[in-house]
Amino acid sequence: MNLLKEPFISYYICYMLVNTDGFGRADYTGFMRLIIGLGNPGEEYENSRHCVGFVAVDEIAKKEGAKFSFEKKFNAEVTKSRFNDKPVILAKPFTFVNKSGEAVRKLKLFYKIKPADVIVIHDDLDIEFGNFKVSFAKHSGGHRGVQSVIDGLKTDKFWRLRIGTANKRLAQIRKMVKVPTRKASRGSSISRREIGTKKEAVGDFVLSRFTPAEQSELKKIIKKALNKLAEITN
């Protein structure tokens, strides 16, 4: 019997060729979500606070056995996977955090994904380590990587998983170095040097590595955060 002449078999083969990647895995283009982990590429930034988004998408990929590969057209590492039992594209832009919107825009257009189906995972200095927040349609809060994504998508109507990276060390930096408030800056009792010193100190903290104690807890926190993200965005 020639199986190719059987109507059902022929239909099934055609369906698999058109709607899958040829190995029985769904072709996700046009009906899935895009999860972006923000971070900086390179060994020098591994385990740094600014790369917590990379760690989170790595955990999603690891759970599903997905492998990242670099896609030049996006300037990002990309893989197809699943999250909350739904198809997703996972991506780690290699543009450096502050220019992440360039890669996100290209990914969104290529995979025909609506902004509301984009999820960005990133570090947040205004949230204590161990905590996290899921938000939708919020301003960048001063996070340049998030602002870049807003500019790239031309909207802030996308999901964000904000993972806290603040600790006592950051609190000490903010306390020791004078912080100019909008009210104080009008009277300008604070020198430009003090303002610059604060920015430099906070910038160093952002790029610093997690402490060994934090590192041992990080994956547990990310797992909890991803579970909450799945619950809210379901």
For the annotated catalytic residues, the residue numbers are 50
Q: Cβ(164)–Cβ(132) under 8 Å?
A: yes
Lookup: tokens for 87: 């198809």
CA 89, CA 79: separation in Å to the nearest integer?
A: 6
DSSP 8-state code for residue 148: H
SS3 30: coil
DSSP string, 160-210: EEEEEEE-HHHHHHHHHS----HHHHHHT-S-HHHHHHHHHHHHHHHTSBP
Taking the CB of residue 224, how many other CB atoms lie within 10 A of it?
A: 13
> What DSSP element (H or E) covers 229?
helix 212-233
Taking the CB of residue 72, how many other CB atoms lie within 10 A of it?
A: 7
Q: Cβ(101)–Cβ(151) under 8 Å?
A: yes
Residue 128 forms beta bridges with which residues?
166
SS3 6: coil
